């Protein structure tokens, strides 16, 4: 593969005329070739025109054809081999093993969506057959299925250059649902983006699908993103990134003549509650496990444990001691970009300078540029409750311990938290009664509740929820990871008394696809 | 039952202090007692406080308890007997048989939701059990269920004083999902609203549920509605009504610090496509059937057939003749309110005065006040395509026939339509090829597609979709009628490695509720 530095509009490589950008190796500060040409509203319009042309053809392909397409994308990504990993390492500073794991996750994710749409689960077919004898009025024949929403705009995240980027969860689930996708490529990893984009282009050609099923656009500033979200062809948006950026795009989606769903994943503290029984049993272990989760990938996970809640006790002091020791031995890792590193330095300095906050421990000083020096802060529950600044996410390996006087104060702190992606309980049997009290509260605060685990690590499976109440995400009804993610891009349509010849296959009496269906309210 | 003229805040009757309103009998112009006291932002705040207190208790009741509550609401409404029908007749001008049918629909709807939540269908439980041996990493135990969103605000419609009002589809589905409900009562039928509200209050007491599960507030102007949608406790809104009113409230929902789902059903033309084969076969019958659907309930249905599309032919002329004859014999019926009657007169006059529009037929002149004189207009496809005014809903028994030159022009007209609740095809076997061409287009325009039927009449069942693309509704992913309506008020939560003792019953291995669950992606 050769990197072109161009936009991928349908099957074409097109040079943008709005300037260029270069990727930068965050570990060395070195500029990476080639220069990436940047597009504008015209390129967005062209991609949207192609997507609209592709939509009806693509959405009406049998599920097996779309599944095959997803599988071929996975194969094409794997066929990129080391070139993809090498480029991603240079653009992100992430280690090889992590990127190889992320590539496996990305390809498995595509294959899982392929298997899911073949099963028809997500279509949730419902059939209420005709009741000609019913009184006082006969009932018509009514059949419901879900169809694709329309072309989708995807904004990839910097922290997962493969799994949440060009062929990441949003793209995979939208394509699985039957929606063409236009990706705004992340400026921090354009080469990685182009390689994956080329792999998708190849899969589109190999499957003889209309070229507009996929496009990839690079852009500077807000022009491309704003034009994409505002374009009438776009029917939904998937976004993973900063709170400010996400809210700005959400406002555009809302203000359209026709408002559209905006699925943004914005920010989270991912509180971990260290309950007394667990602390008394294994404070040292918990301290070590916490630091391992906190510093993984330089703390650059949406589900990084940025907040610890616990009740004062000698066991808590022991936890702090253990965590501090581990932290002091945790070598600094290169962060994804100079911008993310600067933001980390700013946000941790702001907390460190807060008079109500104590710095408990720090990692070793960083030797290379853009490295993340891990840090653990502590404050009191009353200070936390009084100061909204202490509720802000610090993106990176930083966490804040909130010391509570008793169970009631811990409950009060939880009830004042914003919405979260996750909430974790470290507990043993002695904590069950208290946990029973906490669970209804945690359900209202988070999309996923963990026991005796750490929030980093988001399994791609059927039961996963990677979502949560505002501001963790902009749409609490959904998940962006797991097979339920594709429901975001579907809508129900009901067919009344349609002759069998005109019915979609999955709605016909003979059920040729053998999908599970809800008939008269009963699963069959 | 005695009408109090007061707000129902939880278990209390409270007099509002923002003035009063009286219902008016639209058939006579007579003012109806009692005076209804109007509430303000303070009353909204009190109802929200009660709803918040009730929420966790109510949502955690077993499904069987909530089902019993819904069934008891239905019994309490039936126990109101003729008093409810008499009051509703006086407030709406609707005939007795229609209101009795609507009451049956309302109660059946409550009972259908009760049966649905007992089956657990809507919870869509998903279980991916622990895989301790998996390499390179073991998989955690992951279990997903759906829980209630939170307190819901409901704005009832004037045209269904029972089935889309205080205990209508939005209220029933939100209560079924586990959400407390606060209803803004419609000013056109406050007595009907209070009677039904009292029935719900009785059911709350009979079931020993927290009083905040239900409140009913009357208000003048926009204050109560705006305060309700803006209140931080409210987590979703159900609205059926005018486009302008719905959009104003939607903007408030979007602008909140925490934006919330807004489910608005706003307006639709409900196009009926008269295909050539069907016209050639049965133009006379179609003309009569059309007028029966058009004039039913003085045309005051969201799914009223306000637009006819057909290709010029002698058979179309015959249809027009038949429809005109039926229309001229269709007696005027009292409309719901003077306001609705005025709007009908204005919108039909505006179309009648359009130089590109011909008035084909009118019903007999009305003898009593606020009566709806039915009317059928016609225009050319080119005029329709050129004039957005011709795409506006006329709420009442008025319809516009668009005459097309050929199939291509008809397709062009369809592709320029806004989103619709329904699209209907009158067809026979000779039309199948053309219908195949039209269906993909209609799927993108409407939530329900009918063959050889008329859109009025919305069955409450599992497969129904009463929804559709903007501006038919504000959220194309949903339906406001049928059992899928309750999914609007649920959100997914995932539980990772939770000890069995702490898991909700429906997620435990032993499956005590015997609900269908998706285990490793397979329905069990």
Asked if B447 and A477 come within 8 Å (Cβ–Cβ), the reply is no
Q: Please, where in chain B does CATH 3.40.309.10 lie?
A: 271-451
pLDDT of B121 reads 87
Cite the residue boundaries of each domain of chain A with CATH code 3.40.605.10.
Answer: 7-132+139-266+476-488
The answer to whether A60 contacts chain B (CB < 8 Å) is yes
Test mutation, A243, A463, A490, A516, chain B, max B CBs within 10 A: A463
d(CA B84, CA B139) in angstroms, rounded, equals: 58
* Cα–Cα distance list, B428 to B274, B279, B321, B407, B425 (Å): 10, 9, 21, 16, 9
Between chains, do A451 and B150 touch, taking CB under 8 Å as contact? no
Residue range(s) in chain B whose domain bears CATH number 3.40.605.10:
7-20+32-130+140-266+476-488
- Say what the pLDDT of residue A80 is: 98
pLDDT digits (tens, 9 = 90+) for B179-216: 999 999 999 999 999 999 999 999 999 999 999 999 99
Length of chain B: 524
Q: How many CB atoms lie within 10 A of CB B397?
A: 31
State which fold the A7-132+139-266+476-488 domain adopts: Aldehyde Dehydrogenase; Chain A, domain 1 (3.40.605)
3-state secondary structure of B32: strand
User: Does pLDDT of A479 surpass 70?
Assistant: yes
Q: Supply the pLDDT for residue B166.
A: 98
Q: Does B446 touch chain A (CB under 8 A)?
A: yes
Best mutation site among B432, B494, B520 for testing chain A: the one with the most A CBs within 10 Å? Answer: B494
B302: annotated active-site residue: yes
pLDDT for res B512:
95
Residue A1 — very low, low, confident or very high, per pLDDT cuts 50/70/90? low
B contacts of A52 (beta carbons < 8 Å)? none
% of residues, chain B, pLDDT over 90: 96
- The SS3 call for residue B12 is strand
pLDDT tens-digit profile of B305-335? 999 999 999 999 999 999 999 999 999 999 9
Whether residues B126 and A463 touch (CB distance < 8 A) is answered with yes
3-state SS assignment for residue B431: helix
Q: What is the mean pLDDT of residues A319-335?
A: 96
- B-chain CB neighbours of A143 within 8 Å are 463
Q: Which residues of A are catalytic?
A: 265, 302
Q: What percent of chain B has pLDDT over 70?
A: 100
Q: Which of residues 239-298 of A touch B (CB under 8 A)?
A: 250, 254, 258-259, 261
Tell if the CB–CB gap between A493 and B463 is shorter than 8 Å.
no
Contacts of A501 in chain B (CB under 8 A): 432
* CATH architecture of the region B7-20+32-130+140-266+476-488: 3-Layer(aba) Sandwich (3.40)
Identity of the residue in B60, B128, B470 whose CB atom sits nearest the CB atom of A462: B128
HEC string of A420-466 equals EEEEEEECCHHHHHHHHHHHHHHHHHEEEEEECCCCCCCCCCCCCCC
Whether pLDDT at B353 is above 80: yes
CATH H superfamily, domain B271-451? Aldehyde Dehydrogenase; Chain A, domain 2 (3.40.309.10)
Q: Which whole number is the average pLDDT over A404-418?
A: 98
Beta carbons of A487 and A122 less than 8 angstroms apart = yes
**Closest residue of chain A to B470, computed from CA coordinates:** A258
- Angle at B402 (CA atoms; ends B453, B321), nearest 5 degrees: 70
Query: What pLDDT is recorded for position B136?
Result: 86
pLDDT of the residue at A367: 80
Coil, helix or strand at residue B454: coil
d(CA A54, CA A498): 26
pLDDT tens for A56-104 read 999 999 999 999 999 999 999 999 999 999 999 999 999 999 999 999 9
Tell me the two tokens of residue B142.
């992951």
**With an 8 Å Cβ cutoff, are B491 and A476 in contact?**
yes
Q: Looking at the predicted structure, is the pLDDT value of residue A192 above 80?
A: yes
Tokens for A279, please give them: 């602390």
Instruction: Write the DSSP string, A115-179.
Output: HHHHHTGGG--EEE--BTT-SSSPBPPEEEEEEE---EEEE--SS-TTTTSTTSHHHHHHHHHT-
Phi, psi of A331 (to 5 degrees): -65, 145
Give B507's contacts in chain A (Cβ within 8 Å).
none
CB contact under 8 A, A494 and B465: yes
pLDDT band at B1 (very low <50, low <70, confident <90, very high): low
DSSP B453: S
Instruction: Report the complex ipTM.
Output: 0.97
Residues of A in contact with B474 (CB under 8 A): 259
pLDDT band at A191 (very low <50, low <70, confident <90, very high): very high
């Amino acid at each position: 593969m050769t990197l072109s530095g161009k936009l991928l509009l349908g099957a074409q490589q097109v040079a943008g005329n709005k300037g260029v950008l270069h990727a930068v190796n965050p570990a060395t500060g070195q500029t990476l070739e080639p220069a990436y040409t940047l597009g504008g509203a015209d390129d967005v319009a062209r991609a949207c025109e192609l997507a609209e042309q592709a939509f009806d053809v693509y959405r009406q392909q049998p599920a097996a054809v779309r599944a095959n397409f997803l599988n071929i994308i996975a194969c094409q990504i794997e066929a990129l081999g080391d070139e993809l990993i090498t480029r991603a390492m240079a653009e992100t500073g992430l280690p090889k093993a992590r990127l190889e794991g992320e590539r496996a996750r990305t390809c498995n994710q595509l294959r899982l969506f392929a298997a899911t749409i073949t099963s028809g689960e997500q279509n949730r077919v419902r059939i209420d057959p005709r009741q000609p004898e019913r009184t006082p009025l006969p009932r018509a024949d009514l059949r419901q299925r879900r169809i694709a929403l329309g072309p989708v705009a995807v904004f990839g995240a910097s922290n997962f250059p493969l799994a949440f980027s060009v062929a990441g969860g949003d793209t995979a689930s939208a394509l699985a649902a039957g929606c063409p996708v236009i990706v705004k490529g992340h400026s921090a990893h354009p080469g990685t983006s182009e390689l994956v984009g080329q792999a998708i282009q190849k899969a589109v050609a190999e499957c003889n699908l209309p070229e507009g099923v996929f496009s990839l656009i690079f852009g500077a500033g807000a022009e491309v993103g704003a034009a994409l979200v505002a374009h009438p062809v776009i029917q939904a948006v998937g976004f993973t990134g900063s709170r400010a950026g996400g809210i700005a795009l959400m406002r555009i989606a809302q203000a359209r003549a026709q408002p559209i769903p905006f699925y943004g994943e914005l920010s989270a503290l991912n509180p971990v509650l260290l309950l007394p029984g667990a602390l008394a049993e294994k404070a040292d272990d918990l301290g070590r496990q916490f630091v391992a989760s906190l510093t993984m990938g330089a703390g650059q996970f949406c589900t990084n444990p940025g907040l610890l809640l616990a009740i004062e006790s000698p066991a808590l002091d022991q936890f702090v001691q253990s965590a501090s020791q581990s932290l002091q031995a945790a070598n600094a890792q290169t962060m994804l970009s100079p911008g993310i590193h600067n933001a980390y330095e700013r946000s941790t300095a702001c907390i460190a300078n807060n008079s109500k906050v104590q710095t408990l421990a720090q990692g070793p000083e960083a030797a290379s540029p853009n490295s993340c020096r891990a840090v653990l802060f502590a404050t009191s529950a009353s200070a936390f409750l009084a100061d909204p600044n202490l509720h802000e996410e610090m993106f990176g390996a930083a966490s804040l311990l909130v010391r509570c006087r008793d169970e009631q104060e811990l409950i009060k702190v939880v009830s004042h938290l914003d919405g979260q992606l996750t909430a974790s309980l470290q507990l043993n049997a002695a904590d069950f009664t208290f946990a029973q009290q906490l669970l209804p509260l945690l359900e209202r605060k988070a999309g996923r509740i963990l026991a005796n685990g750490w929030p980093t690590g988001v399994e791609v499976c059927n039961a996963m929820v990677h979502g949560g109440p505002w501001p963790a995400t902009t749409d609490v009804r959904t998940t962006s990871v797991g097979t339920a993610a594709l429901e975001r891009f579907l809508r129900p349509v009901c067919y009344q008394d349609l002759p069998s010849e005109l019915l979609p296959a999955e709605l016909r009496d003979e059920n040729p696809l053998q999908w599970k269906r809800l008939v008269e309210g009963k699963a069959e």
